[in-house]
Structure 1
Amino acid sequence: MAEPIRLLPAGTADAPEMPRNVEAEAALLGALMIDNRLCEDVQVKLRADHFHEPIHGRIYEAILKLVDRNMVANPVTLRPMFESDEAMKELGGPGYLAQLTGSGAALIGARDFATQIYDLALLRELIGVGRTMVESALDTSEDVDPKSQIEAAEVALYRVAEEGGETGSVKSFAQATKAAVENAERALNSGGHVSGITTGLDTVNARVGGLHRSDLIILAGRPGMGKTSLATNIAFNAAIRRVRDREDGIDDAKSVGAGVAFFSLEMSADQLATRILAEQAEISSQKLRMGEIGHHDFRNLARAAAELETLPFYIDDTPGLTIAALRTRARRLKRQRGVDMIIVDYLQLLQGSGKGGDGNRVQEISEISRGLKQLAKELHVPVIALSQLSRQVEQRENKRPQLSDLRESGSIEQDADSVWFVYREEYYINFEKPKEASVEAGDDAGAVSAFDIWQKRMSDAHGIAELVVAKNRHGATATIPLKFEAKFTKFSDLADDRFGGPR
């Protein structure tokens, strides 16, 4: 058994050699020059920088370049490309290329050689990450931030792990068809409508089919519309469905529920938990904070708390996260907790990498929205990102939001697979309340006062919210009426024939 690699102090003469197999590199290059068709198999995974010997990496790159031009790559055609290569001269000149093809037996094990070269390259990368971690940790200067070092190390380790995963994202039509059939089976098992992860709202599921994996969903609205409440409702509904599906013996892969990671950049974890408890126990969150609850309410609260304890629901309330740090934490939660849905509250509170240095907020928001979309694809989970809308909504007579209201960047609309707006007309009508004595027309006994008209409008709009699906890559747009209980900040399906379902 090989001894483990030991990291020795800097300057030690007997530092261990880096993992490598120069003979395997030479044999593979010889095989590729004898049979160029082998390039099709190895180039998907193997890059020039995976070779330990730089000259071997350059030869490999030259072979691929000629093959890509539909030219034969052999010692004769490659010779002009290495006439003046200093490293090649040290090996005896371009004649070294002919030496590499000396053993035809290498053709048999070419794929195994490529795999070993690749694996050894990953080991060298791991050693590099480890050394960087050690050097960074030994730096005790005042401007050192250990947390940022940990995040950087996680990003580097994940990059190595990611490279060691699938050989590419190309799928055969048979594979793609299998995935489509599995989605259809999931929709069938759920009772219909849901091919992705359930929102817990039947009218929404019926219109959008649930939350689709790899999608970025932007949930936007002006302050006071209830977008955080809707996000917590959806998160709870998905998490509780996952628990119930497990109890029913349904495998996680076939479940329409999900483990949820909730990144709360605005509210603390205990504030968010209080809100969710209030929603599920149907207790006023204000009364809950003030302690103004009776024994019946407390029993409901205890029941909801006991139910929440078992949920696959994880809250990260770290303030001021960068998009890179959020992606690192999301990967960790995916790996350790198996989360299948990510919610970010809210997008504008995230920070970019700051690499631009010009303070351009539009570019920063573009980087953030692009990063969230990449995260959804990378982890194969739906990402719901809450977003603020610009104040221009308030300046219009019609306050219903539209795509152009998305704040600070059009790239949010571009990167998103779906854009949802939360709109409550009741919120705006409430500010239009006239004096009770005002009269609409004249002093006639039968005249209707402005207050009566306002009161009628308030009555019609009371407890009604609209989820406006303004963009939907998987289907048509729609306006979906929902019931909103402001006291509990809870959304539910609206059992009201006046609206006739989604429009």
Structure 2
Amino acid sequence: MTDMNRAEDANKAEGSFAALLETTLDSMEEAGIEMTGIATGFRDLDALTHGLQPGHLTVIASRPGMGRTAMLSGICRHAAIAQGHPTSVFTFEDTPEDFGRRLMAAEGRVALHRMRSGTMADEDWIRVAKRVPDIHTAPLTVHTPASMTLSEFLDQAREDVRDRGARLIAVDGLQDIRPDKRNDLREREVGDTARALKTLARELRVPVVATSHLNRGPEQRYGNRPQLDDLRESGAVTYAADMIILLFREDAYEKESPRAGEIDLIIARNRYGPECLITAAFQQHYGRLVDMAPLPTHE
């Protein structure tokens, strides 16, 4: 190789690094002044993350009945209805009607059990009617398959991004995606799915949010607080995810708890920031999580 060729290669490498450096500096400058990702609708969580970032995988994990589906659907509602971002949702537990009721209950602030039992009052119908136009026009695509293989999911997600311009992909039930090929180790199957979700996020340059189950560890622990080791069937989820949010409600274990209606968002893994605890309000009758009211200030 001649000295001239070496110089040309060096210039190319230097130019490539310079471009990378410039892009990084631009992103750092933008991060200081605006939301760089898709806002979740949770004030403190968005302040921590600047929104759900393209290429990142966020996992929301909890024991049953803690509110992980409510949080996931709330993020999707905020993205599609409040912000107008095309959003693709995959849920393996709800029918289309069930998911629609979740949206209308949370948006209209109508008790979900009244919708299901057909006992809505006149004021409930009025609240829902006010929100229907915005829900109807929201760029939200909902998939409710009874079963789906990993390849089928990946193909559909790519199609949603390509043809519908999806900017957020949400999965309610990471463990419910079936492997293309069965493995004797369930842990390996779930790990493959988690890694595939992370790879998909990077490939499509969109954030991916998924819910996951926890094992019975919290029930066997004093205080019942979840830990990363409680992730069911796969420690690989911990390594694949950029952020893991563990949900905990004291009133789920202690009915007379003074913290009734509160839910802790435990940021147990955060690849690009600190781990911390965020407290929100869980309006279980509406099936939604909202920010806690700020404490009053005294001048």
Q: 1:171 offset after TM fit, Å?
A: 5.8
Q: 1:130-172, CA deviations, whole angstroms, 9 ceiling, x for partnerless residues?
A: xxxxxxxxxxxxxxxxxxxxxxxxxxxxxxxxxxxxxxxx964
Matches within 5 A, 1:141-156: none
Relative distance call for 1:178 and 1:475 in structure 2 (3 A) is same
- Counterpart of 1:482 in structure 2 is 280
Residue aligned with 1:429, SS: coil
- Counterpart of 1:203 in structure 2 is 44
Corresponding position: 1:426 with 2:251 = yes
Q: 1:346 aligns with which of 173, 183, 186?
A: 173
- Counterpart of 2:127 in structure 1 is 300
* Counterparts of 1:176 and 1:340, CA distance in 2: 26
- Counterpart of 1:393 in structure 2 is 218
* Counterparts of 2:246 and 2:275, CA distance in 1: 11
Q: 1:490 offset after TM fit, Å?
A: 1.4
Q: 1:342-369, CA deviations, whole angstroms, 9 ceiling, x for partnerless residues?
A: 1111111111121xx5432111111101
* Counterparts of 2:28 and 2:156, CA distance in 1: 28
Q: 2:205 aligns with which of 380, 388, 396?
A: 380
Relative distance call for 1:350 and 1:283 in structure 2 (3 A) is same
* Counterparts of 1:291 and 1:383, CA distance in 2: 35
* Counterparts of 2:216 and 2:270, CA distance in 1: 24
* Counterparts of 1:176 and 1:291, CA distance in 2: 59
Q: 1:176 offset after TM fit, Å?
A: 5.2
CA contact (8 A) 1:186 1:195 kept: yes
Residue aligned with 1:462, SS: coil
Q: 1:185 aligns with which of 23, 30, 46?
A: 30
Residue aligned with 2:212, SS: strand
Residue aligned with 2:281, SS: strand
CA contact (8 A) 2:183 2:189 kept: no
Corresponding position: 1:286 with 2:113 = yes
Relative distance call for 1:363 and 1:303 in structure 2 (3 A) is same
Q: 1:319-376, CA deviations, whole angstroms, 9 ceiling, x for partnerless residues?
A: 221111111000000011111111111111111121xx54321111111011101000
Relative distance call for 1:490 and 1:180 in structure 2 (3 A) is farther
Corresponding position: 1:468 with 2:269 = no
- Counterpart of 1:414 in structure 2 is 239
Corresponding position: 1:174 with 2:15 = no
Q: 1:185 offset after TM fit, Å?
A: 3.2
Matches within 5 A, 1:90-129: none
- Counterpart of 2:12 in structure 1 is none
* Counterparts of 1:263 and 1:467, CA distance in 2: 22
Residue aligned with 1:385, SS: strand
AA paired with 2:30? E
TM-score by length of 2: 0.90
* Counterparts of 1:339 and 1:176, CA distance in 2: 29
AA paired with 2:148? L
Q: Which has the higher contact order (CA 8 A, sep 6+)?
A: 2
- Counterpart of 1:260 in structure 2 is 87
Residue aligned with 2:52, SS: coil
AA paired with 1:236? R
Q: 1:468 offset after TM fit, Å?
A: 0.4
- Counterpart of 1:328 in structure 2 is 155
TM-score by length of 1: 0.54
Q: 2:139 aligns with which of 309, 312, 317?
A: 312
Q: 1:410-459, CA deviations, whole angstroms, 9 ceiling, x for partnerless residues?
A: 100011110001111111102xxxxxxxxxxxxxxxxxxxxxxxx4xx2x
* Counterparts of 2:210 and 2:70, CA distance in 1: 13
Corresponding position: 1:220 with 2:18 = no
| Root-mean-square deviation (Å) | 2.1
Q: 1:281 offset after TM fit, Å?
A: 0.3
Relative distance call for 1:427 and 1:328 in structure 2 (3 A) is same
* Counterparts of 2:126 and 2:45, CA distance in 1: 31
Relative distance call for 1:373 and 1:305 in structure 2 (3 A) is same
Relative distance call for 1:483 and 1:172 in structure 2 (3 A) is same
Residue aligned with 2:253, SS: helix
CA contact (8 A) 2:89 2:141 kept: yes
Q: 1:184 offset after TM fit, Å?
A: 4.2
Relative distance call for 1:183 and 1:339 in structure 2 (3 A) is farther
AA paired with 2:42? L
Corresponding position: 1:242 with 2:83 = yes
* Counterparts of 2:155 and 2:16, CA distance in 1: 27
Residue aligned with 1:276, SS: helix
Q: 1:8-30, CA deviations, whole angstroms, 9 ceiling, x for partnerless residues?
A: xxxxxxxxxxxxxxxxxxxxxxx
* Counterparts of 1:370 and 1:384, CA distance in 2: 13
Q: 1:472-493, CA deviations, whole angstroms, 9 ceiling, x for partnerless residues?
A: 0110001001011111011111
Matches within 5 A, 1:359-374: 359-374=184-199
CA contact (8 A) 1:183 1:196 kept: no
Q: 1:71-118, CA deviations, whole angstroms, 9 ceiling, x for partnerless residues?
A: xxxxxxxxxxxxxxxxxxxxxxxxxxxxxxxxxxxxxxxxxxxxxxxx
* Counterparts of 1:419 and 1:330, CA distance in 2: 21
Alignment coverage as a number of residue pairs: 285
Q: 1:180 offset after TM fit, Å?
A: 5.1
- Counterpart of 1:229 in structure 2 is 70
CA contact (8 A) 2:38 2:53 kept: yes
Residue aligned with 2:209, SS: strand
Q: 1:209 offset after TM fit, Å?
A: 2.0
AA paired with 1:350? I
Q: 1:183 offset after TM fit, Å?
A: 6.6
